[in-house]
Each structure stands twice: as C-alpha cells, then as structure tokens.
Amino acid sequence: MDDDETFDEAAYDGQDADADLLEEELRRAAGILDPVPPQLRQIAVEAYALHDLDARIAELTFDSVVDAIPVRGATDVPRMLTFRAGEVTVDVEVTEEGLMGQVLPPQKALVEVLSGPQTGAPLTTDDMGRFTYGGSPAGPFALRLRTGREAIVTDWLTV
C-alpha cells in the first residue's frame, strides 16, 4: 500500500478470523519465548490485592517526560509528576537521590512509597504538606497518602 492510499477496513472484514488466529498464535509464542517473570507477576498480584479498597485513586495529570518541553543540553533533570484526587493535589520530584513532594492544599498526611510487596516506613508531611524520601524507587512505584479524612493512592509509575 502506498502512502497516498487509504486503508479500506471493509475490504478486510472477511479476514477477521485469520487475524484472531494470528493474534492467539502470537500470544502463545510470546508466552513460551518471553514469559512474564514469576516475581513480576507476584508483585502485580500483591499490589492489586493489597490496594486500599476505600482509597481514592489520584490521577496523573502532569508528567515532565510527556508534557514538558525538554531543555537543550540539560542532563539528569528531575522528573516532575502531579497527581490529583478531587481537591487534593500531590506534586512529586523524582531524582537519583530520592523523592521530594508536597500535598496541596498543605496538610498533615502519612505518605508511604509503595514499590512491591513491602512498603517503606511512613513519612509524615510537615505543616506545608512537604515530604522527602531518601531513595529513588527502583521499578514500579506508587504513593499512598492518608490524611485525617481519606486515603489516596497514586497511579503506578516506573522511573
């Protein structure tokens, strides 16, 4: 097909069964040749099973990797993330040295860095809602915040 031609989906309706068979065959091949590591599967199951059922999910609203314009020549720039759940916003800066963040509006909260089956020691925000975590999370991580009224869990991200 040339670049000038458009894709005609109606012309391929009779080949849906072939496409489904091909997809299934590719899934089986991937399962044999490149299976999901058991440790990763276990972490995923535990992360899902242990999440707070009553926690509100904080949606990722800003990620500097996706939403920011890169600065020419800058290296080792921190990754900036913003999560929102209702009226609560959590701004996080991820560097090689660790995490720094702030809960807005400023309030006292317990913050846990989730990165697998074990959670780190809970961090307490200061009066301005700020917190620091002295270690950059390896692999997927999320944050769980417990304010006086509610629990909030961020989306899982890999840095």
Has this prediction a pTM greater than 0.85?
no
H or E stretch covering 99:
strand 98-104
pLDDT of residue 20: 84
pLDDT along the chain (159 residues), means of 10: 53 67 88 86 72 75 81 75 92 90 93 77 90 83 86 86
pLDDT of residue 134: 86
pLDDT in tens, 7-32: 555 555 556 778 888 888 888 888 88
Rounded to an integer, what distance in angstroms lies between the CA atom of residue 103 and that of residue 90?
5
Angstrom CA distances, 127 to 8, 32, 108, 109, 130, stand at 60, 53, 6, 10, 7
pLDDT of residue 141: 87
Rounded to an integer, what distance in angstroms lies between the CA atom of residue 110 and that of residue 58?
15
